[in-house]
Amino acid sequence: QIQPRQGSCSDTMLQLILRLEKSIKCENLKEVRRKKNIEERREKGKRTRIRGRE
């Protein structure tokens, strides 16, 4: 009933999936940071424009 091969195979798959998830999270973090930076720049631009009008 117990198949060590299957167990080890699923373990390696789990490790691969975990690695993928980690790399995906890293990519997502980079994207989020980039978007935040872009939004912050836009906000700063709006603020300077408003200040210029006043």
What mean pLDDT value characterizes the chain?
A: 81
Asked if residue 3 is part of any domain, the answer here is: no
Instruction: Tell me which residue range forms the domain holding 45.
Output: 9-53
List the pLDDT tens digit at each of the 54 positions of the chain.
555 555 556 788 889 999 999 999 989 999 999 999 999 999 888 877 766 665
The model carries a pTM of 0.50
Alpha-carbon distance values, 38 to 33, 41, 45 (Å): 9, 5, 11
Per the listing, tokens 């690695």 go with 19
Number of domains present in the structure of the chain: 1
Asked if residue 2 is part of any domain, the answer here is: no
